[in-house]
Structure 1
Amino acid sequence: MHDPRDTEFSALSVDALVEQLRLRATELGFVGFGISAAVESTGFSDLVRWIDAGYAGQMDYFANRLDAYRHPGGVLEGCRAVICLAYPYPAGPSADVPSGFGRVARYAWPGIDYHDIVHPKLKKLCRMIRRWDPDSSARGVIDTAPILEREYAQRAGLGWRGKNTLLLNKQLGSYFFLACVLADIELPPTEPHESSHCGTCTACLDQCPTDAFVRPGVLDATRCISYLTIEHRGEISPEFHEPIGDWLFGCDVCQQVCPWNQKRSRQVTAPEASSPLQAVSLQEVDQLDEASFRQTYRKTPFWRTRLSGIRRNAKIVRYNGRIGS
C-alpha cells in the first residue's frame, strides 16, 4: 500500500532533502556531515606512485581495483554526489596495559566490528534518498570500496589531511571513521576545507616507533605497526619487533601525540564504546584454537588478523615484556 508520507517526502526540495539527511545522520550518531560533487580524484596519481613505490605491502586490493579509484563512478555507476560522514570512536586516555597483556588500537576498543556498527546506519540514509527519488541509486561504503574517502571528505569540508595522512578536524581530532553515501542524484556541495592547521608540528612523524613516514603525508605501510600487526601475513621482520612494544593489534602513536586529538571536544562521544578490548591477555591468546577464536572474535576487528596473526603478535609482545622487565 502506498504511504502518503512518501509523496510528501518526495515533494521536498533538494535543499530540504539535504537538511533531512543531515538531521537523520546526527540522530544516527554521525558527528560530521558534508557533500562533495562526484568528480575525478585529484589524488589518483599519488595513489599510483604510492603503490609503485611498494608502500602498500601485501595490500594487493589497491592495485587490483586501481582504475575504480579514479572516480566515485567506479563504485556506483552514474554517481553524482558523495555524502561524507564522520563516526566517532573512543578518544579517552589509554589505560596502562599490565604485564602479560597486549595493547589494542582504540578504534577496536568497542569489541564490535565497526562495519557492523556503521553499515546499517548508512543503509538508512540510502533508503531516504530512494524514498525521495524512487528511480535513484545510493550506496553506503566504509573503507571497503575503492574510493579515496579522505580526499572527498576534505572537499566536503570535514577536515584537512594531517602529516600522518589522516583526516583531522578541529573538534574531532582524527578519532573517527570516515564513511560515504554515494548517490546518482545531484546534491549541493558543502564548502571544502582548504586550510591546514598542523603548522610546524611534526609530532606524529617524530614519534612513530618504526619511522614509517617517508615524508609528511606519505606513509610506508610496510613499516607501520598497524599494517604489520593487522594486514601483514607471515612473519614480521625482526627489525620491527622491539619498536612494536606492547602493541598486539594496531597502533595509535601518531594519533595520541597529535595536539588536535589532545584538544578534542569532550562533547564528542562514541555510543558503542564499552571498551572491552582495550587490552588482551597474552595467556588467553595462547589458549585460543580456531573454534574459540571464531566464537570470541568473529564479530570484532580481530577477525581480520586471523588467529595466526594474533599469535604471532602475542609472541613479539611477550618477548618485549621480558626484555623490558
Structure 2
Amino acid sequence: MVFSFQDRFPVTITHIDYIELAKKIKQWGVELGFAEVGITDIDLSQHEAQLQRWLDNGYHGEMAYMAAHGMKRARPAELVPDTQRVISVKMNYLPPDASFAKALSNKQTAYISRYALGRDYHKVMRNRLKKLGQKIEREVEQLGYRPFVDSAPVLERQLAEKAGLGWRGKNSLLINKKAGSWFFLGELFVSIPLPIDNPNESEGCGKCNACITLCPTGAIVEPYVVDARKCISYLTIELQGAIPEQYRALLGNRIYGCDDCQLVCPWNRFGQLTDEQDFHPRQSIKDQDLITLFSWDEATFLKNTEGSPIRRIGHERWLRNIAVGLGNADYNPAIIQLLTERHQHTSPLVQEHIEWAISQQNEKQINTERKQARLIRIIEKGLPRDA
C-alpha cells in the first residue's frame, strides 16, 4: 500500500511563515474539536527493531495487515511519498455516566468498551482531519496532505509521543498526564516543513504495574508489549474464528472490547469527558441485558449498529461473543432455554460457543442445587425436635 499526494512540489516555498502557520494549525484543530494537536518529524527508526520483534513473536495474531507492509509502518515517507511532517491529534471519547463498575459487576449485563458506544470514531475524526487539511491548503496552495485514523500502516502512538501528546504506557496505550488515555488518535501527513514539537512528557508509569497485574487474560506480557492473541479486545473484535476455550470464562460479560487496563491506570483519574455528542452512548446498546442482545436477528443488529464501530464484527461474531457472556452469567433457566432455541438456527461457529455456554450454565445449576441442599441440611439440624 502506497498513498500519494495528488500534486508534488519539489520547490521549497520560502515566503511562508511556518512558525505562525503551526500556531494557526493548532488553533484550527481545537476549533474542529480536537483536544490537542502536536507536530512531529517522520523519523521513527528507533521503533523498527521493537516492531519487528513484536511481529516475529506472532503477537499480532490473525491481524495479517500488521505484518503485510513490513517496516512501512515506521516509515511515513514510504507510505506517502513527499511527507515531511505529521500533525498528530487526539480527541476525547469518555462519555458521561460511563458506569464502568455497575456494568462490569452485573453478570447479566453486556459490557461494551466505552469507545464503541457512540458513532464510529474513524468517520468522525477523518472528516475533521480532512477539514484541517483544507484549512491549511487555503494558506499553502502547494500542499499535499492525507488524513489517517487507524486506517493504514501508521505507528500512531509513537508519532503522538514524538509530537508531545503523551507517553506510551506499559499497557501500550498513549497516556497524557492531564487526560489519562480516554482519547482517540489521528494523523494528518503533510508535505511542508512545519516546526516540530518536542516530547514534553517523560514516561510517567514509574514502578506501577497495575495494568499488567490486573489484565484479565495476562495479555500484557511485559511492559509496553501486548500479545494481541490474549487480549479481550482482539478476541472479541479482530479474531475471526472460535475464541480459545481457555479465555472464555475470563471474558466475563465483555462482549465487545475491554477497558480494564485503562480502568486500573492511576492517570485516568484525570480523564476528560468528551464534548462530542457523536461519542455519547446509544441507549440501545449501552448496558443492555445479554438475553436481549442475543435475541436480535441480523436485521435488528444492523439497524441498531448503523454508523457504529460494532457493526464491523458482523452478526455472527456478535452472537459468538454474547454466547460466551451468557455462559459466564449467573445461572438462569431462561438463558439455557434461549441458547437451546437458537442453537439450530445459527452457524457452526456460534453453535460451538452456545454449547460451551450451556455446559457452563448446567454446571452452575448443579452447584446452585448443591448449595441449596447443603443449606437445607444446616437448617434442619438446627431446628427443635418438635418443629
Shift of 1:269: 4.1
1:281 has 2:289 as partner:
yes
Q: Secondary structure at the match of 1:22?
A: helix
Q: State the alpha-carbon separation in 1 of the partners of residues 86 and 130 from structure 2.
A: 14
Instruction: Work out which structure has the larger RCO, using CA pairs closer than 8 Å and 6 or more positions apart in sequence.
Output: 1
Shift of 1:208: 0.4
Q: Secondary structure at the match of 1:248?
A: strand
Q: Look up the equivalent residue of 1:183 and give its one-letter code.
A: V
1:151 has 2:151 as partner:
no
Q: In the superposition, relative to structure 1, how do residues 25 and 271 fare at CA in structure 2: closer, same or farther (>3 Å)?
A: farther
Shift of 1:37: 0.8
Quote the residue 1:316 is aligned against: 324
Find the partner of 1:227 among 225, 228, 234. 234
Choose 145-154 or 66-75, whichever is displaced more.
66-75
Q: In the superposition, relative to structure 1, how do residues 194 and 94 fare at CA in structure 2: closer, same or farther (>3 Å)?
A: closer
Quote the residue 2:381 is aligned against: none
Q: State the alpha-carbon separation in 1 of the partners of residues 307 and 254 from structure 2.
A: 21
1:17 has 2:21 as partner:
yes
Quote the residue 1:291 is aligned against: 299
Shift of 1:39: 1.9
Q: State the alpha-carbon separation in 2 of the partners of residues 45 and 280 from structure 1.
A: 44
Q: Secondary structure at the match of 1:42?
A: helix
Q: Deviation string for 1:217-238 (max 9, x for gaps)?
A: 1100000001101101111111
1:55 has 2:62 as partner:
no
Find the partner of 1:101 among 96, 100, 109. 109
Q: Deviation string for 1:174-212 (max 9, x for gaps)?
A: 000011110011100012135111111111111100011
Unaligned 5+ segments in structure 1 are 1-9
Q: In the superposition, relative to structure 1, how do residues 65 and 289 fare at CA in structure 2: closer, same or farther (>3 Å)?
A: farther
Q: Deviation string for 1:41-72 (max 9, x for gaps)?
A: 32122111111101101001111122321311
Quote the residue 2:205 is aligned against: 198
Verify the 8 A CA contact 1:108 1:300 in the aligned structure 2: yes
Task: Output aligned runs, 1:294-305, within 5 Å.
Answer: 294-305=302-313
Q: State the alpha-carbon separation in 1 of the partners of residues 210 and 324 from structure 2.
A: 26
Quote the residue 1:6 is aligned against: none
Q: TM-score, normalised by structure 2?
A: 0.77
Amino-acid identity (%): 36
Verify the 8 A CA contact 1:11 1:132 in the aligned structure 2: no
Q: Secondary structure at the match of 2:129?
A: helix
**Over alpha carbons, which structure has the higher Rg?**
2
Q: Secondary structure at the match of 1:135?
A: coil
Q: Secondary structure at the match of 2:102?
A: coil
CA RMSD of aligned residues (A): 2.0
Find the partner of 1:132 among 113, 130, 139. 139
Verify the 8 A CA contact 2:91 2:185 in the aligned structure 1: yes
Q: Look up the equivalent residue of 1:220 and give its one-letter code.
A: D
1:180 has 2:180 as partner:
no
Q: Deviation string for 1:147-186 (max 9, x for gaps)?
A: 1011111111100110000110011100000111100111
Verify the 8 A CA contact 1:29 1:271 in the aligned structure 2: no
Q: Secondary structure at the match of 1:322?
A: coil
Choose 77-86 or 292-301, whichever is displaced more.
292-301
Quote the residue 1:79 is aligned against: 83
Q: Deviation string for 1:244-290 (max 9, x for gaps)?
A: 01101100000000000023356x64443321243233233333333
Shift of 1:12: 5.7
Q: In the superposition, relative to structure 1, how do residues 171 and 194 fare at CA in structure 2: closer, same or farther (>3 Å)?
A: closer
Q: Look up the equivalent residue of 2:133 and give its one-letter code.
A: C
Shift of 1:96: 1.6
